[in-house]
Amino acid sequence: MAKRNTKTIGFSVPPEVHKEIVEYASRENKTKSELFREMVALYREKKEEEEYNRLLKYGRLKALEAGLTSEEEINRAIDDYKKS
C-alpha cells in the first residue's frame, strides 16, 4: 500500500461557516481541501506582505533618523558600511 503524501487535519467550525466553505468550494469547482490550501497560501502571502511593510516602515524611519533623504544616499551609506 502506498503512503499518503498528505496529512489530515480535523477542526470544528460553526454550521454557517461550513455552509460557506461548501458553497465556495462548489462555486469554484474545488474540494474543501483545495479551498483550504488556497486559503492558507493567501494567509501566508498576507502575513509576508505585512512583515515586508513593517520592515519598510522601519527602514524609512531609520533612514530619516540618519538624515538620509534619497535612495542614492541610502545605497552609499550601505556601501560605506559594508566596506568598514
| 66 and 78 Cβ atoms separated by less than 8 Å | no
Task: Determine the pLDDT at residue 6.
Answer: 87
Cα 82 from Cα 84, distance rounded (Å): 6
What would the DSSP string read from start to end of 15-28? HHHHHHHHHHHHHT
Q: Where are the domains of the chain?
A: 15-83
Cα 4 from Cα 83, distance rounded (Å): 52
Q: Record the pTM.
A: 0.73
Cα 53 from Cα 60, distance rounded (Å): 10
Task: Determine the pLDDT at residue 1.
Answer: 65
SS3 29: coil
Task: Determine the pLDDT at residue 42.
Answer: 98
Residue pLDDT tens, the chain, 84 long: 677 788 899 999 999 999 999 999 999 999 999 999 999 999 999 999 999 999 999 999 999 999 999 989 999 999 998 998
